[in-house]
Amino acid sequence: MRRLRLPAALLSVVAFVAGCADDAELDTLKPEGEYSEQIDNLIDPIFIVAFLVFFLILGLTLFMWAKYRVTEYEEGDWPEQVHGKTSWEIGWTFIPFAIMAAIGAFTWILLSDLNATEANALPIQTAEGEVMWDPHVVVVGQQWWWEYRYYFDADKLEELDDANGNPAKDLPPADIVTAGQLVMPIGEEVELTITSRDVIHSHWIPALNGKRDAVPGRFSPWKIQANDPGLYFGQCTEFCGLSHSRMRMQAVALTPEDFQEWVTAQLADAETPPGAEAWLEAYRAADGSEVEAPEATGAQRGLVAFTQNCASCHLVQGVNDLTYDGATQVSGAAPNLTHFASRTTLAGGILDLYNPDGTLNRNNLESWLRNPEAIKANAAPERGMPNLGLSEETIDDLVDYLETLGPRPSDEMIAATQVD
Amino acid sequence: MLTTGFKTFFGWALLAVFASLVYGWVSGGGGVGPLSLGWKGGVGDHAGYGILLWGGVIFGALGALLVSFRDADAEAAAHHRGMNSAPAGQRPLDASYWPLVAALGAATTVVGLVVSQILFVVGIVLCGAAAFEWATYAWADMATGDPDANRELRNRIMLPMEVPMLGFAAIGVIVVSVSRIFLAVSANGAVLVAIVVASLIFFGAVLLNFKPDLPKNLVAGVAMLGLVGVLGGGIWGIAAGERDFHHGEEGEEHSEEGEGHSDEGEGHSDEGEG
Amino acid sequence: MAITEEPPLELEAGDPLPEYAEQPLGVLTRPSGNTGIASWLFTVDHKRIGIMYGVFAMFFFLIGGLEALAIRIQLAVPGNDFLSAETYNQVFTTHGVTMIFLVIMPLAAAFANYLIPLQIGARDVAFPRMNALSLWVWFFGGLFLCSSVIIGGWWENAPDGGWFNYAPNHGVAFSPSKGIDFYAIGLQITGIGSLVSAVNLIVTCLNMRAKGMTLFRMPVLTWMLLITQFLLLFAVPVITVALFFLMFDRLYDANFFNPDAGSDPLLWQHLFWIFGHPEVYILILPSFGIISEVIPVFSRKPIFGYKVMVFSGIAIGFMGWGVWAHHMFVSGLGPISVTAFSMSTMLIAVPTGVKIFNWLATMLGGRLKFNTAMLFAVGVVSMFTIGGLSGVTHAVAPADTQQTDTYYIVAHFHYVIFGGALLGIFAGFYFWWPKAFGYKLNERWGKWNFWLQIVGFNLTFGPMHILGLQGMSRRIDTYSEGFGFELWNLVASVGAFVIFLGVLIFVINIFVSQRQAKHLPPVGPDPWDARGLEWMTASPTPEHNFDEEIEVQQVDEFWFRKYDIDDDGTVHRIATGDEVAQPGTATGVHLPAPSYWPMVLAAGLPFIGYGLIYNLWLCVLGGLLVAAGSFGWVFEPADDPDAHHGGHDDHGDHDDDPDTDPEAAAALDAPEGADDVAIESEEAPVG
Amino acid sequence: MSSETLSDTVEAGMHDADHHDADHHHHPSDRKYVGIAIGLAIITAVEVLTFYVDFGPLFIPSLLLMMFVKFYYVCGWFMHLKLDSPMFTKFFVAGLVLAAGVYVVMLSASQLWDNI
Amino acid sequence: MVDSEVLDEQAVEAADASHSAKVGDHQPGSTGISNQKLAMWAFLGSECLLFGGLISGYLLYRNNNQDGPAAAEIFDIPFTSVSSFVLLMSSLTMVLALSAITRGDHPRTRLWILTTALLGAVFIGGQVYEFTSFYREGLGYTTSPFSSAFFTLTGFHGVHVSMGIVMLMSLYFSSVRGKLKTENAETVEIVGLYWHFVDVVWIFIFTVVYLMAKGI
Ligand code: HEA
Ligand code: HEA
Ligand code: CUA
Ligand SMILES: [Cu+2]
């Protein structure tokens, strides 16, 4: 494929089709799900029609250039003065019209397909026992990362209403909240309800379906589906300010079994580093007053540092969910870190969290904590994560702690990631 | 050769600059602030200072223009036309009522300084208008030897400013007065007053339409009375204050947070008019 | 300000005045004369105004082009840090805004101003002073917009929301710099210019036509420009509303686009695109008109299907109003709206296709002379088609969900705008240059210009199709390795520099040709053996356009005065262009006098703009300028009274030939001719 | 309600029409204007009445109808569209129709009618 | 506000005619109609889209009053009805002015022009009153989308009326100075067109914004 590219460069129009490269993770012409395939099946023939029309026009032009070209005008050398020909003109009104009508018909059909949803029932084990889940995820865009919220109780979704104000800032509590990576079961139609807490973003996983904007104040329906397990890349495509280019995400498609496993893990509270449980207990009971902290391990110290520095914005279920009172952000939220280490990327899907060999990529995480603005231009503290001026030791401790917020993702997933 | 035009404008410029300095100081500025345009140290009230200084600059520029381009310079003109002597200038023919306005303006300004900012602004505006008109009159009256030409000259400069100003002033007086009356009386009273005022205007016009030869003095007198009535009503309205508006549930909170903005909102329509 | 407009000195009776004494004294008199910079600044001559539109637009083109180059440098390689994210966002926004509002639109306006009166045989536009007003309002508005780059720091305060500037990202909370205030107010100002000129040109087209010039004898270019003006007339107020809402939101905390108060951010998108889509046809139709003039001349055939050309233009103008939501396919509109707008968008391909095929049919069987103007025109036919076809692929809404906001869109609109509008405008430059300046542009340089531009253009924007389909988002300040974007971005960046070279050669060509022309015989009124009325007068066009009114009997009137067609279809020459064309030597034609007021009025607007952003007192100053400007205008006689006294030489560029041409003078004395001229010119000054 | 019947209701004795300059345009007489104005006033009164009296399901249709009639009379007679060049009507109607069309579609797409 | 400049422009063009005498009486355009009138009508066509946009914005947000007062709660229909009458009658006086000047009856022209301007000023006074009282009752410009849209729409209309009054006053002054001749009737007509248009817009606003607030 790669070799094909040079000749293609000579005729960029041809390269149009050939342009799909092996490493093009966002390639729109390499569908991996039902809907993206439908779109591809519609557009490929249209591309061909377009090529034909273009070559017709170009061909006619070149033909006339070859046939009728003169270098100088000679006195009296005048062609027949044709002022028009109605039959021709009717012809080239009608034929394009017919072509467009055909394209329009197929477009119409596909549009109604893409906008229809079907009710599915996927059995899911939750804490309350098995529920039948119609796969559905609420997607919330925010400068500059994505949040995914899972509600296994369909009634909760009824509470989403787009009447007044921006409801995305005040969503009902979800069973699972994650950031940057949308985890979904394969083979199922996964409905998305897309909204935003601040400006307009656009959610796009090219391999699985087209995009849909996340508009504040609106809940836009969309759906995706993946045929095979894997990691599918995405990118926010509506201009959303400073770090629009660094607002990415991935869809992680798992087999139903793996998905169940993931759900089970996510439903649990975060694990507290061994030896720190007592401190945490005391801290929560003390309601803000000083409690002597454990100093033994990095993770223990990290927990303390986290509680002091980070908990005002980041929620870790089971640790600070009692004291967390919303982020100091315009949008009112920061990524939920409860099972942070179970993702393979961080910071809006732009940094790998693991090395290819499966170890934690401390480098990335540390540099993020050292100065997020250097990695992702932002407008902190109102928008984006601020530089908190942490000491190197604290950063080390925090990384130790964050690593405990597992479980670790599977090796295949780690191998599939590699975003930078 | 310094022409009268130059002298008039330059005089005004000096006066305005001086006034701006004084104003900059007395309104609470410190040290050399007003001298350095606020660069080294403060100026009291920026708005007034700015207007005065700006006026000075404009007058100065006009004066400089006149002298450098030898506009309205009778001698230069005479020279240009190859004549030996310039024709004599002409004394002003009309009595000028601008000194009166200027005096009124000055008084209002002083009173305004003490009493209310609005009055102060009104005073400043009056002074400015008087100064400008007066200066132009004075200049135009002596620009050439021909009174007709002088009048034409004056009109050329002044009409583009006078006409819109007068237009605005006319609307402004009525709008402000009428709305103050409406605000002072009860809601139903406002309806009534509106009906009465509009009917008076309308039927007065109808009457005049049918009886065009009513004595001029009578008409003028009645019109004057009407105007005084409206104005008086307005002043009464201001004095009486607005009636109690019945606030919505959260009215209080809203009106507080919305204070500045709503004013600006209204300011908008005013600007549009300007 | 006409402070001392001829204050007559009281002279003793009987004194004879020397000639020069009639000249008013002092510079503050009403502007007069036709030399020097002042003659440009205060002119109300539609030709000078047209030329100034062109020159200013080229200046902005340089700015917009440099911004484009900055974009391309930044994107040439992955992870580049030539521009910070902050700067990049401002650069692409100003690039888009500059190119659309300050380059293509005014370039079209340049042709509209210069050519409409000439093509319909008029002496000037309906309201010459209003015409000057629109120029200056637009230009000052443009400067105001561009000043945002400098004011408050280099690239600190420029608009950064993208050219369509979606809500609520354009709010103060998300864009705290003053940039978007500049955007809102700047576009508002330029909008006033467009609106005024639309009104003016519409009245001109409808009401100033020469005798016999019925609507369906107007040249296709005039028709397309007329349609464009109607689009402007109705589209500008829509964005005016949107911009007011935005301005009030930003400056006075209104709630039009504030989702936290339950407002709908899509309101902005609707309003913007209701304006925005007609706007893209505003960009392209003038170019369609231009090549409809060029292709027949260099094919030696009349335009194929004149009426169909006109009607398809009208159809495009109409349909352009019903498709705006194709820019919102993924915004969550609801399936019914999406389907409806998808269908309506596809339909536009039909009238546009008709045009393409008619141009081809015009060339079919003709005698094609591929000089530079023709090359550019044919370039439009093929390059625009590429852009149009990719447009059709966006119109397929499901496919657009994959394409929108990727470089595939960037490719589409650069193909239609650069490959359609801009190439067409270059064709126009080469074609009408001799009419405006009296010399032809050099063909050798011209061909270099064309080929570099077309090659560079395809090199730049062709690969963007691939990039887009490979998933590269637009408006990203940088991209990572590993997505397959590296190669094509580099190619595109190289291409951009080739374009730059191409345009540079155009600029060089102007100077080269001007020097060469000194050694060449004058081009004469009709250098191309052309067809329209504009060629029926001397080159460069004399200030009064035509010596006498032309009576029109058919489309391509000028051509039919030169040629006759036999019954068997052969063409015979009956006269040469030089014989038919008017010498352009008439003197004493009474023309509208220049005026300061349009400039004074226009100058007030940026002050109001700065005032709204920085300090309301500036608004007072601006408001005074506007008020004084407009009322000064009202009280200024449209005609310069001096002209009646014969003191002024108002009649065009015959300074070198002060002696009145006896024939022309005689023509003036002749009752009918003189009356026509007088009435014509009486009418013009009304503006 | 035709304009003729409207003007018939006008009291005689309004301004004499004989000053009317017959050759200038073909503007209607003052009498006609006054008649129309009275008609408009009556319609407005009925409009205001809808505020006090319950028109039931007719509320909106009747208001729209009355609005349209007023609109028509002001444009047609006060603005002389009925008498002047049809070109003016075309310009104005073009703007009106375009505005109505475009904005109605826009509001529909914004689901305005749902939450009315 | 900027838009009002365009209006100015119109006023200017309109008033232009009054100062170049030769133009007023004879219009040689290809269509036989006057340039100025055509321009004014084109401009009014364009204004339809301006007010259409403002009205649409209002319709979209009419019920979104957040915690602030709602439309039906706050409107004072009796008062607004009187205002509407006043504006409507000013349309009558405007045509009477035109009628007078076509007859060459300058005193009556001045009378009716001045009456029109005065009635317009009363209308604006009423609007200032209305705005102030709404504000006092808790409806600030920033209170809700409804309030922003309402004040913007009616404010724009008010600015248009005010510009009209300025034009009328200019006509009045011209007439007083003897510069508004019988042959300049068209200038009065053009200002009148603008004035009636503004009235027509109010006819729309009064019905759709005020009266219908009750029902929906
Ligand atoms: C000069 C400007 C111009 C022109 C003329 C066009 C013309 C067209 N445009 Fe384009 N468009 C833009 C400028 C222009 N556009 C811009 C600037 C944007 C991006 C804005 C932004 O997001 O920043 C845009 C975006 C844009 C979109 C939105 C994409 C998105 O953001 O998702 C769409 C979607 O439908 C579209 C469609 C079309 C269509 C169908 C035409 C049609 O008019 C084209 C018709 C022409 C042809 C089809 C070719 C000739 C026809 C034939 C030879 C006949 C035979 C053909 C067939 C049978 C197919 N355009
Ligand atoms: C009229 C329209 C127009 C034109 C002509 C161009 C021309 C070019 N554009 Fe632009 N472009 C837009 C309109 C236009 N563009 C718009 C509307 C956008 C969207 C903005 C947004 O997203 O908000 C955009 C966005 C856009 C992007 C996407 C940015 C992004 O999404 O991140 C890119 C990227 O490559 C780009 C590149 C270019 C290039 C390389 C050129 C080149 O063709 C430019 C070549 C020109 C020159 C190099 C100038 C040469 C001039 C001279 C030498 C002048 C000399 C004259 C004198 C001295 C008198 N443009
Ligand atoms: Cu989020 Cu772009
Ligand atoms: Cu479009």
User: On the CB side of B222, how many CA atoms lie within 13 Å of its CA?
Assistant: 11
Report how far ligand 3's centroid is from the alpha carbon of C600 (Å): 44
Q: How open is the CA angle E182-E187-E188, to the nearest 5 degrees?
A: 80
Q: Give the number of domains in chain E.
A: 1
User: On the CB side of E47, how many CA atoms lie within 13 Å of its CA?
Assistant: 24
At D104, the pLDDT band (50, 70, 90 cuts) reads: very high
pLDDT value of residue C642: 46
Evaluate: CB of C63 within 6 angstroms of ligand 2. no
Q: Shortest CA distance to A146 belongs to which of A194, A76, A191, A184?
A: A194
CB-neighbour burial class of residue C222 (10 A; exposed 0-12, middle 13-18, buried 19+): buried
Q: C591 pLDDT exceeds 90?
A: no
Q: E22 pLDDT exceeds 60?
A: no
Q: Is B216 on the interface with E (CB under 8 A)?
A: no
Report how far ligand 2's centroid is from the alpha carbon of C69 (Å): 8
Evaluate: CB of C422 within 6 angstroms of ligand 1. no
Mutate to test the interface with E, among B168, B202, B203 (most CBs of E within 10 A): B202
Q: How many angstroms away from the CA of B161 is the closest CA of chain E?
A: 11
Residue pair E59/D113 in contact by the 8 Å Cβ criterion: no
pLDDT value of residue C7: 40
- The answer to whether residue E24 sits within a structural domain is no
- The answer to whether residue B40 sits within a structural domain is yes
* pLDDT values of chain A reduced to their tens digit, one per residue, 420 residues: 344 443 334 344 444 444 444 567 889 999 999 999 999 999 999 999 999 999 999 999 999 999 999 998 988 889 999 999 999 999 999 999 999 999 999 999 999 999 888 888 899 998 888 999 999 999 999 999 999 999 998 888 877 765 567 888 888 889 999 999 999 999 999 999 999 999 999 999 999 999 999 999 889 999 999 999 999 999 999 999 999 999 999 999 999 999 999 999 999 988 888 888 888 888 877 766 677 777 778 888 899 899 888 888 899 988 877 667 666 777 878 999 999 999 999 998 899 999 988 899 999 999 999 999 999 988 888 889 999 999 999 999 999 999 999 788 988 888 888 776
Residue pair C627/E5 in contact by the 8 Å Cβ criterion: no
- The answer to whether residue B247 sits within a structural domain is yes
One-letter identity of residue C313:
G
At C196, the pLDDT band (50, 70, 90 cuts) reads: very high
Evaluate: CB of A240 within 6 angstroms of ligand 3. yes
Domain residue extents for chain C: 31-257+268-545+548-581
pLDDT digits (tens, 9 = 90+) for D34-65: 999 999 999 999 999 988 888 888 888 899 99
pLDDT digits (tens, 9 = 90+) for C326-364: 999 999 888 999 999 999 999 999 999 999 999 999 999
C546 vs C14: which has the higher pLDDT = C546
Q: Give the number of domains in chain B.
A: 2
d(CA C359, CA C381): 8
Q: Which chains touch B (3 or more CB pairs under 8 A)?
A: C, E
Residue pair C686/E36 in contact by the 8 Å Cβ criterion: yes
> Which residue's CA is the nearest one to ligand 3's atom 1?
A201
At C400, the pLDDT band (50, 70, 90 cuts) reads: very high
User: What CATH number matches the domain at C31-257+268-545+548-581, 1.10.3720.10, 1.10.260.40, 1.20.210.10, 1.10.8.10?
Assistant: 1.20.210.10
d(CA C219, CA C583): 22
Complex-level ipTM: 0.87
d(CA B16, CA B19): 5
pLDDT digits (tens, 9 = 90+) for A273-299: 888 888 888 887 776 667 777 777 888
Range with lowest mean pLDDT among A278-292, C451-465, C559-573, C629-643: C629-643
Mutate to test the interface with D, among C203, C226, C227, C234 (most CBs of D within 10 A): C234
pLDDT digits (tens, 9 = 90+) for C459-479: 999 999 999 999 999 999 999
Distances (CA, A) of C206 to A40, C118, C125, C313, E42: 49, 14, 11, 17, 12
d(CA A220, CA A139): 10
| Domain closes at, from B45, B80, B115 | B80
Q: H helices within chain E, ranges in order?
A: 2-19, 21-25, 35-61, 71-74, 77-103, 106-136, 145-176, 185-205
Residue range C186-209: mean pLDDT, rounded: 95
One-letter identity of residue C308:
V
For helices A34-68 and A86-115, the axis angle rounded to 10 degrees is: 160
- The answer to whether residue E6 sits within a structural domain is no
d(CA C667, CA C677): 10
Residue ranges of chain B whose pLDDT lies below 50: 1, 89-92, 248-274
CB atoms within 10 A of CB A412: 13
- How far, rounded to the nearest angstrom, does the alpha carbon of residue B66 sit from its chain's CA centroid? 24
Range with lowest mean pLDDT among A109-118, C3-12, C397-406, C515-524: C3-12
Could B179 and E86 be called an inter-chain contact, meaning their C-beta atoms sit closer than 8 Å?
no
Do chains B and E touch, with touching meaning 3 or more CB–CB pairs less than 8 Å apart? yes
pLDDT value of residue A14: 41
pLDDT value of residue B87: 53
Residue range of the domain that includes B190: 170-263
Evaluate: CB of A141 within 6 angstroms of ligand 3. yes
At E174, the pLDDT band (50, 70, 90 cuts) reads: confident
One-letter identity of residue A165:
G
Could C161 and A110 be called an inter-chain contact, meaning their C-beta atoms sit closer than 8 Å?
no
Domain residue extents for chain D: 2-83, 85-116
Which of C53, C86, C92, C488 best tests ligand 2's pocket when mutated (most atoms within 8 Å of CB)? C92
| Domain closes at, from B42, B64, B80 | B80
Residue pair D103/C237 in contact by the 8 Å Cβ criterion: no
What is the β-pairing status of strands A176-179 and A181-185? unpaired
Residue pair C377/C310 in contact by the 8 Å Cβ criterion: no
Q: What is the DSSP letter of C327?
A: G
Residue pair E101/E186 in contact by the 8 Å Cβ criterion: no
Q: Which chains touch C (3 or more CB pairs under 8 A)?
A: A, B, D, E
Q: Is E111 on the interface with D (CB under 8 A)?
A: no
pLDDT value of residue B83: 62
B16 vs C646: which has the higher pLDDT = B16
In B191-210, the residues whose Cβ lies within 8 Å of chain E are 191, 194-195, 197-198, 201-202, 204-205, 208-209
- The answer to whether residue B239 sits within a structural domain is yes
pLDDT value of residue E12: 40
- The answer to whether residue B272 sits within a structural domain is no
Give the CATH number, domain containing residue E206. 1.20.120.80
